Structure formats: structure tokens, C-alpha cells
Amino acid sequence: MRLSSYDAALAAIKLLEQSGFQARLAGGCVRDRLRGVAPKDHDIATDAQPEQVIALFKQAGYRTVPTGIKHGTITLVYDGIGIEITTLRADVHTDGRHAVVEFSKDFALDAARRDFTVNAMYEDRHGKVYDYFAGQSDLQARKLVFVGDADQRIQEDYLRIMRMFRFWAQLQFTPTPAALAATTRHSDGLALISQERITAELMALLREAKIALIVEQMFAVGVMAQILPAIKFKRTMLAAIVATAKVEKEYRSLARLGILLDAVEDSEALQALIAGLRMSNNNQAQLLVLIKMADKLAEVSSRAAAMQLIDAIERRTFIGSFLRMYYPIWSVRYGGKLRGLEFMYQTELEDGDLRRSGLPITGDDLLAYFGKPAGVWVGKLLAKLRWEYREKKWRTKDEGLALAKRLI
């Protein structure tokens, strides 16, 4: 029977200890265990050097991957489970983006370089918790408190501003006034962080259910002005964001981002802003469709028009899931105000199989039937036949050929 992530981590800790090293569970997994939530994964902190960790587990027959060996992290593959093992560290130098570290044997020093008190706790394999900065107290109070001086923690790594808002959304722990004030003072430091890292944190935040108050605070402290310039806060955004909690988590981030970006009226400015987020080409296309193609919903008044628009949406966004993504988002945003949206929904629900199915007739069939040389006429005729097929005007090959004769 395959081990759980927790049991695999305990087995790894035991092996490290048997070899004379200290090792404990660290960070988020300890936090989540203390609040009664099963961690998704388990990280280990140890005083063993990375090369010692690699040698130890290689000798024991386990594979390791040097995922972040420069900073002391290797990933152990234990019974098919990935476990990050990181050597205890202390900061030597930080510049707001990167840290130069030296390895340590002191858990207290390692805790001192972490971001929030609730993430700076450790647990040994017997269940004893090591808490150097009152993390358990802050956990019970549901507070986000920077370890030590908030200004210093942020200036060491400005991405911690985004992490604070993301943890607020994820844990529903409220930052202290000191933490919020520090983000206000240093929000311009986000300009030093790569856009890819900022966008990843933003999308993770937007995925969580209850974020309306958090988004409002991000505007209030100046963070949104840094990461989404040209967007002005509108209170109507909040109600739309609350409503999109109903959207599948897989698509919720794009739905919320679309709500924020909808405030940009100039098309060129919108495209530039989306491109600046450094998302995948697919995500960029999905956002543009989400914001701009909704205008075409009012024009839909037939089954053929509905299928044509759904085709265009799915062709541009590469998702093939109009009902899963766009219908829930648009129905939340527009309610029952757009008849075209409901028409598209019913058409896809009832006739989506017709839109995706292959025709009973091929180009070769048409060439043989008409005895004409190949040319553009074949593609054009097939396109006409497809729409008539979707309108249920024909079904069999003989019916299709008879219709083709009339159409040509």
C-alpha cells in the first residue's frame, strides 16, 4: 500500500536522524496540520548539507532531484511522492529579489528569515512543535504577522507583498495594521520582481472564493496600481467578483481578472496590459474573448449563428469548453439580460454534438458525384453543407448529395 505524503515525510526524517542529522517538518505543512487541514505536501528542514542529503538517499535507494540546490533544496522522490528537503539557512545579503544565503544548523535562524509567523514553525516526527515567533498564537487569532520587522521582511523580498494578499485569500487570516501599512510603504518595490512571479501570485489569489475585500485593499494600498496600471477601482467590481465564486475554480482566476480588466475601455491599451502580464498565449486569447466577444452575444438569433459564435470562441481560446468556462462567467456577469447567451446555451446543450460531429459526406464524395476537378468550390460547398447539417436539414449521404446539387 502506498504511503501518504505525511508518512513518507516522517520516514525521510527518521532516515536523516538515524544518520546523525536534525530534521523536522517545516512551514506551511506544519501550519495546516495545526489548523486541522490536510497539507497538500510536506516539506522538511534539516541541518544536513544538500550533497549529504543526496548521498544519503542515493545509498538508501531513493532518487533525488536538485530542484533548488543553489539555495539548499533538493526534492526527494520517496515511494512516488515528492518531498522538498531544504538545508537550514541564514540570509547573508538580500536585494528585494534574490537572497544570498549560508547554510546553518540553527532552526531559530532559519525561522527568522521566513515571511510570516504562521509559516515559521517546525514539527518533529513525534509531533512536537517548535515555534520561535508566536506562530501558534497568531494561528489561533487568524492573523498574518510578519516575522520580526515588517519593513525589513518586505525589503528582503518584495514578492512577500503579493504573498501576504494571497495568504489572506487562501487562509482568510487578516493582516495586522502594521503589515498593511508596510505594504503601502513598499508597494513600488514590486517593480523589481519579475512579471511572471507577480502574475502567478495574482492568479493564485484570484482563484480563492472570498476575495472582494482583499481586492479592495489591494487598490487602497497601491498594490493594484503597480501590477495592473491604468485600472481604476470601481465598487461594481466587488459584486461581480463575489458572484464569480460560483465559477469553477479552474476558470475563476480568468473570470475575476476579466472583471478587473474590463475597466480598460481602449482596445489597444487592454491588449498591451494583457500582454504585459506575461501569461501564456492561450490565456491571453481567453481573456480577450472573455472581455470583447461578449458584445456579439446580442447578435445571436439563430441556431446557426449560435454555433458559429461558439466555434469562434473555442477556436480562438483552444479550450473546447464553452459551457464550462464562458457560459458560467457570462451568465454571472450579465444575468438574464442577454437573450443571445441563453440561446447559445440551449443550442450547445441540445445540438453541441452536431457542431462537433463529422459530416457523412467528404470532399472525395463531392468530387466523385459531380465529376469536376478539385478546387475551392469543394471547401465552400462543404461549409454550406455543414451549416445545413447543423440546422438538421439533412442526415444521410444521399440527402446530402441531393442538397449539394441544389446548392451548387
pLDDT of residue 340: 79
Amino acid type, 326: Y
Length, in residues, of the chain: 408
What are the cell numbers at 68? Answer: 533548488
- pLDDT mean across residues, the chain: 89
Task: Count CB atoms within 10 A of the CB of residue 116.
Answer: 26
Q: Is the pLDDT of residue 337 over 80?
A: no
Q: What is the mean pLDDT of residues 337-357?
A: 73
Measured between alpha carbons, how far is 75 from 22 in angstroms, rounded to an integer? 17
Q: Bigger pLDDT: 35 or 96?
A: 35
For residues 112 and 147, the answer to whether their CB atoms sit within 8 Å is yes
Q: Where are the beta strands (DSSP E) in 31-187?
A: 43-46, 63-68, 73-78, 81-87, 89-94, 99-103, 121-123, 129-131, 143-144, 174-175
Tell me the whole-structure pTM to 2 decimals.
Answer: 0.83
Q: What is the mean pLDDT of residues 58-66?
A: 95
Measured between alpha carbons, how far is 10 from 146 in angstroms, rounded to an integer? 28
Task: Count CB atoms within 10 A of the CB of residue 123.
Answer: 21
Strand, helix or coil for residue 46: strand
Measured between alpha carbons, how far is 19 from 16 in angstroms, rounded to an integer? 5
Residue with cell 463575489: 242
Count CA atoms closer than 13 A to 120's CA, side-chain side: 25
Q: Is the pLDDT of residue 28 over 90?
A: yes
- DSSP line for 55-67: HHHHHTT-EEEEE
pLDDT of residue 331: 82
Q: Per-residue pLDDT tens for 210-266?
A: 999 999 999 999 999 999 988 999 998 998 899 888 888 888 999 999 999 988 888
Task: Count CB atoms within 10 A of the CB of residue 356.
Answer: 11
C-alpha distances (whole Å) from 243 to each of 198, 212, 264 are 25, 10, 21
pLDDT over 70 for what percent of the chain? 95
pLDDT of residue 138: 98
Q: Per-residue pLDDT tens for 162-189?
A: 999 999 999 999 999 999 999 999 999 9
Measured between alpha carbons, how far is 314 from 306 in angstroms, rounded to an integer? 12
C-alpha distances (whole Å) from 187 to each of 96, 221, 264 are 12, 8, 22
pLDDT of residue 293: 80
Q: Per-residue pLDDT tens for 191-214?
A: 999 999 999 999 999 999 999 999
Count CA atoms closer than 13 A to 115's CA, side-chain side: 20
